Amino acid sequence: MKRLKEFLFVATATTVFVDTPAHAYLDGGTISLFLQGLTGAVAAGLLFGRTYLAKLTSLFRRPSDAGPNDNA
Amino acid sequence: MKLDPGSFRDPAGRILRSGDRILRAIYPAGAKAYEAARDAGVLQSQVEKGRLLPFQEIPTAGFVADGPMPRYLLEHPRIEFVSYPYEWPFSALKAAALLQLDLNIDLLASGFTLCDATAYNIQFQGTRPVFIDHLSVVRYEPEQGWVGQRQFAMQYLGPLLLWAKRGIAPHAWFRGSLEGIPPEDLARLLRLRDRFSFNVLAHILGPAAVHRQSLKRELGAPPPKERALPLRNFEAMLRSLRGYIAGLRLPSAKTVWGDYAGCNSYDEARRGAKHAFIAKHVGATMPKVLFDVGCNSGDFSQTALHHGAGYVVGLDFDFGALEAAFARFDAAKAPVLPLWLDATNPSPSQGWAGTERRSLNDRANADMVLALALIHHLAIAKNVPLDMAVDWLMSLAPTGIIEFPDKNDVMVKELLRARPDIFPNYTEDAFLAHVRERGEIVDQQHLGEQGRFIVAYRRS
């Protein structure tokens, strides 16, 4: 469910399923600051949410020795 | 001192080599950035954490070398064997990706970042990755975003995804495309379920879509909208990506040789005799660097290490065996680097001017080679004439041990089972003659009675 929400959030902002052929001589190395700004905000939101969720759930269970892992 | 042909893209500096000495020339274009990182202590701090190759400033006075006069000179310890990302097993590429991200996350906390994300900036000392480009460390400028995002996607995330999600080792593609796998190409190969991930969207599918849009934009059209990437969000993006990559695993595919060490045609006595032969000759040679060609999961690399080899480069074509070797020597913190090699098609010299990335033979700095249970695969499975197979193996090091399984060996019988025997010259006598043509046979021994024969040579 969590992954689905993440997916829908970003998918609405990017046209990810349009696999059209592209032929040109432009530099493909250009990064998109707009996309980075957007995905950076999502990543921060997810990290913030997880941190507080982890703090909340830790109140109700024994502390684990597992390292931090924020698999998305 | 000669300029290294692989370090020319950054005007800030270049690498110079002379014998065992490795120097980094820092030119005026890179001096300010270097001074900032050095004076803030971030370079030294990363050296102490083991992430950055140690360095020492040395005087430039009287320095004579190819290229312009440097503002600073750094001397670095030599990497025992230079390897490339298209030779790394899965766990090595993953470890390198994690180092790249950890380093960047750590640097951001001190107001610095990495100005690129090329995998060629990482080398291995055993199974431990180390970052080697001190001039990639620059001050963080908020308006720049993550400059290395596309490089990271092409050289780390893309190849790892191809491997983990589709079960396809990226080496053939990566070796043919030295900058890595473009997101827009990888995007076509990912299944719907592979796309259900924030990080795949953020670093592969999103940039691929943006790339397609940029190709449609006409020259002179207004630039696309921008949006700031605040430091906190940049760090969160890197941490999220780090967590995602840490969770990537190889699909559990059984490989041809992955369990070979455990269920091959040897009995314990013959394995013991082979280990003893290797121990004796490695002990006598004490090689600083040893190549174990066809290393499998590293049993004989281990023996070589225990008996005096300083550093072992284990080479094999089977990714399952390499993973087993990597895990074993990583756990032991042993100086063994397992690398992928197709012995019939070793890494070539390639890249800019055909010299940017060196061939395996160019880099072959071994004092000794082990080639155990390998030559029949070259001579019979791959039709390499026996003399040419001996020639190539003996070209890798001045001393070595080669095992020759004759036609009575069960593995050779298996190779010949489904094809006509067109190898009348594949005999022990012919093998010995080919070795003698190129050097001296120091020792030889039959291992049991089923066609395994082993020789130690010294090249003339």
Categorize the per-residue pLDDT at A49 as very low, low, confident or very high, splitting at 50, 70 and 90: confident
**What's the mean pLDDT in B417-428?**
91
User: 3-class SS at A13?
Assistant: coil
Residues B177 and B108 in one domain: yes
State whether B95 and B231 are in the same domain. Answer: yes
Give the pLDDT confidence of A12-45 residue by residue, as tens digits: 444 333 333 333 333 444 567 888 888 999 999 9
> Roughly what angle, to the nearest 10 degrees, separates helices B231-246 and B90-108?
160
In a domain, B375, yes or no: yes
Residue B123 has pLDDT above 60, yes or no: yes
Instruction: Among B76, B104, B120, identify where a domain stops.
Output: B76
Q: Are residues B323 and B349 in the same domain?
A: yes
Chain B interface includes A20 (CB < 8 A):
yes
Residue B56 pairs in a beta bridge with B75
Residues B359 and B317 in one domain: yes
Q: How confident is the model at residue B224 (pLDDT cuts 50, 70, 90)?
A: low
The answer to whether position B253 is within a domain reads no
Q: Which of A32, A42, A46, A50 should be substituted to probe chain B, the one whose Cβ sees the most B Cβ atoms within 10 Å?
A: A32
In this structure, of A7-16, A19-28, B31-40, B421-430, the range with the lowest mean pLDDT score is A19-28
Residues B305 and B445 in one domain: yes
pLDDT of residue A62: 65
Range of the domain at B371: 268-459
What local confidence, expressed as pLDDT, does residue A68 receive? 44
Taking residues B345-370, what's their average pLDDT?
95
Q: B126 pLDDT exceeds 90?
A: yes
Is residue B4 over pLDDT 60?
yes
* Distance, CA of B455 to CA of B285 (rounded, Å): 14
- Closest CA relative to residue B183, chosen from B160, B164, B206: B206
The total domain count for chain B is: 3
Q: Tell me, what's the pLDDT at A59?
A: 75
Could you tell me if B348 and B391 lie in one domain? yes
Percent of chain B past pLDDT 90, that is, above it, reads 80
Instruction: Clarify whether residues B25 and B103 are in a common domain.
Output: no
Q: Which of B393, B375, B366 is nearest to B301 (CA)?
A: B366
- pLDDT at position B189: 96
Q: Which has the higher per-residue pLDDT, B28 or A28?
A: B28
Best of B186, B229, B231, B248 to mutate (most A CBs within 10 Å, chain A): B229
pLDDT mean over B75-94? 97
Q: Which ipTM value was assigned to this complex?
A: 0.71
Q: Assess A54–B contact: CB distance below 8 Å, yes or no.
A: no
Band of residue B359 on the pLDDT scale cut at 50, 70, 90 = very high
Q: Which residue in the set A30, A40, A71 is minimally distant from B233, CB to CB?
A: A40
Would you say residue B152 has pLDDT above 60? yes
Please check whether residues B289 and B371 belong to one and the same domain. Answer: yes
Residue B229 has its nearest CB partner, among A10, A29, A37, at A37
The answer on B185 and B103 residing in a single domain is yes
Residue A71, pLDDT above cutoff 60? no
Chain A with chain B: Cβ pairs closer than 8 A: 143
Last residue of a domain, one of B76, B98, B122: B76
* Angstrom distance (rounded) from CA A66 to CA B182: 34
pLDDT tens-digit series, residues B435-455? 999 999 999 999 887 778 999
- Which position has the higher pLDDT, B226 or B265? B226
Reduced DSSP (H G I as helix, E B as strand, rest coil) percent helix, strand, coil of chain B, to 5: 45, 20, 40
Interface residue A30 vs chain B (CB under 8 A): yes
Q: Report if residue B263 sits inside a domain.
A: no
**Are residues B134 and B24 located together in one domain of the fold?**
no
Mind listing the pLDDT tens digit for each residue in B162-220?
999 999 999 999 999 999 999 999 999 999 999 999 999 999 999 999 888 777 776 67
| Residue B121 counted as domain residue | yes
B79, β-bridge pairs: none
Q: Do B233 and A24 touch (CB under 8 A)?
A: no
Task: Determine the distance in angstroms separating the CA of A50 from the nearest CA of chain B, rounded to an integer.
Answer: 11
Closest to B82 in 3D by CA, of B139, B130, B35 = B130
DSSP string over B52-96: B---EEE--TT---SSSPPSEEEEEPPPSS---GGG--HHHHHHH
A52 in contact with B, Cβ within 8 Å? no
Residues B139 and B39 in one domain: no
Same domain for B66 and B136: no
With respect to residue B343, please indicate whether it lies within any of the assigned structural domains: yes
Question: Would you say residue B259 lies in a domain?
Answer: no
Of B182, B209, B244, which has the smallest distance from its Cβ to A16's Cβ? Answer: B209
What would you report as the CA-atom Rg of chain B, rounded to the nearest whole angstrom? 24
pLDDT for the residue numbered A31: 61
Residue B257 lies in a domain: no
Q: Is residue B31 part of a domain?
A: yes
Q: Which two tokens stand for residue B2?
A: 């000669």
| C-alpha distance from residue B277 to each of B91, B281, B304, B320, B398 (Å) | 31, 6, 10, 27, 18
Nearest to B150 among A18, A29, A71 (CB): A29
A50–chain B Cβ distance below 8 A for any pair = no
User: pLDDT by residue (tens digit) across B290-349?
Assistant: 999 999 999 999 999 999 999 999 999 999 999 999 999 999 999 999 999 999 999 999
A58 touches chain B (CB under 8 A): no
- Report whether pLDDT(B260) > 60: no
Distance (Å, whole) CA B435 – CA B458: 9
Last residue of a domain, one of B27, B44, B76: B76
Give the integer Cα–Cα distance in Å for B270 and B452: 9
DSSP character at residue B153: I
